[in-house]
Amino acid sequence: MARARPSELLDALWERGRRYLGCELALMGGAMTWVSERNLVSAISNAGGFGVLACGSMPPEALAAEIDATRALTDRRFGVNLIVMHPALDELVRVCIDRRVSHVVLAGGLPPREAIARIRAAGLEVMAFAPAAAIAKKLVRQGVSALVVEGHEAGGHVGPVATSVLAQEILPVVREVPVFVAGGIGHGEMIAAYLLMGAAGVQMGTVFVCASESIAHPAFKQAFLRASARDAVVSVQVDPQFKVIPVRALANAGTQRFIETQHEVIGRYRRGELSFEEASLAIEHFWAGALKRAVIDGDVENGSLMAGQSVGMVTRIQPAAAILAELVEQANDALGRLGERRPRVATAG
């Protein structure tokens, strides 16, 4: 299979990102729990991109085994995404340091200053997510070596601000470290646009779910192939008193049942049948294990189908290398059209 061939202009635009990641294409695979494991991550890295393992809720020993298994499939660089709320975060950081992972991505909240310091002191690169310019600047001061700007269009846990707005807010004011843009990117033309705005590269997750190397259940992949952008919706919170963590996923029977469950549980709380803590826990635990049920078991009606709004651009199952090649070709074409659109200025003869 032909490898992705960036044009000279594309290579120049994302040179900083390529150097930082240590790969040919400054295109990171978004870390998706149960999906971004050894097979998909190694495939992305082997094709010239930068795969990122999703640690999710793995215990330290499982993460160590997954890193080793990924190394057996690729001799190229890849990163590890750690959720900062994980109760064993310190031990997971130690695993990454001991295994000499080149890049650690801290996600799911503001990373502890101590974790950043430990990773950098060990000689590893550390990346973090910036939901606002002020936080981006704070993270740079704390020592992160790169930032990811991820907007509301992304799949999974999302913030309230669109990617395009965050990019305009952060890219002009953060120059000290490479900044990668994520959320809703499904076409090479958008990659080119963000690079022209000053991004060092991009991160994409949803477009890789249907890679042939992805271990996601065939029914899960078919749900993606059938979906349009409007099918990827954010979880509904029916009462401001009972917080629901916003998660973008494809609407299914489970989505509707979650709304009904909230109404039922909150009604019981209002009638004095449940304490506030019991009601909150019942709502919080509704989706427990739901992502695994969908991704691994194929229960696409009751499981959680986390997907970004770019899902409508996922149209077929193909190897990760073909996905990357297609994206690069699209970016090359978009950049090539720049010269055609440039107005010609007449000169006096």
Q: Which residues pair with 104 in a beta bridge?
A: 80, 126
Confidence of residue 349 (pLDDT cuts 50, 70, 90): very low
- Residues near 288 by Cβ (< 8 Å), separated by ≥ 6? none
pLDDT value of position 344 = 57
> Of 242, 321, 269, 282, which is closest to residue 40 (Cα–Cα)?
321
197: exposed, middle or buried (Cβ count in 10 Å: 0-12, 13-18, 19+): middle
Helix (H, G, I), strand (E, B) or coil at 203: strand
**Rounded mean pLDDT of 292-307?**
96
pLDDT digits (tens, 9 = 90+) for 175-215: 999 999 999 999 999 999 999 999 999 999 999 999 999 99
Helix (H, G, I), strand (E, B) or coil at 268: helix
Cβ–Cβ < 8 Å for 6, 329? no
pLDDT digits (tens, 9 = 90+) for 48-70: 999 999 999 999 999 999 999 99
> Of 177, 179, 157, which is closest to residue 166 (Cα–Cα)?
179
Taking the alpha carbons at both ends of the chain, their separation in whole angstroms is 52
pLDDT value of position 29 = 98
Confidence of residue 288 (pLDDT cuts 50, 70, 90): confident
Confidence of residue 3 (pLDDT cuts 50, 70, 90): confident
Helix (H, G, I), strand (E, B) or coil at 149: strand
Q: Which architecture characterizes domain 8-214+314-335 according to CATH?
A: Alpha-Beta Barrel (3.20)
Domain boundaries, the chain: 8-214+314-335, 228-295
pLDDT digits (tens, 9 = 90+) for 84-108: 999 999 999 999 999 999 999 999 9
pLDDT at 341 over 70: no
pLDDT digits (tens, 9 = 90+) for 6-51: 999 999 999 999 999 999 999 999 999 999 999 999 999 999 999 9
Indicate the average pLDDT of the chain: 95
For residue 43, report the phi and psi dihedrals to the nearest 5 degrees. Answer: -65, -40
pLDDT at 2 over 70: no
Cβ–Cβ < 8 Å for 320, 175? no
Helix (H, G, I), strand (E, B) or coil at 235: coil
**C-beta neighbour count of 65 within 10 angstroms:** 13
**Rounded mean pLDDT of 276-290?**
92
pLDDT at 134 over 50: yes
> Of 32, 48, 92, which is closest to residue 67 (Cα–Cα)?
92
Q: How far is CA 208 from CA 104, 196, 211, 213, 337, in A?
A: 20, 24, 5, 9, 27
Enter the DSSP assignment of 4. Answer: P
pLDDT digits (tens, 9 = 90+) for 231-245: 999 999 999 999 998
Cβ–Cβ < 8 Å for 101, 22? no
Using CA atoms, how far apart are residues 178 and 182, in angstroms rounded to an integer? 13
pLDDT value of position 4 = 74
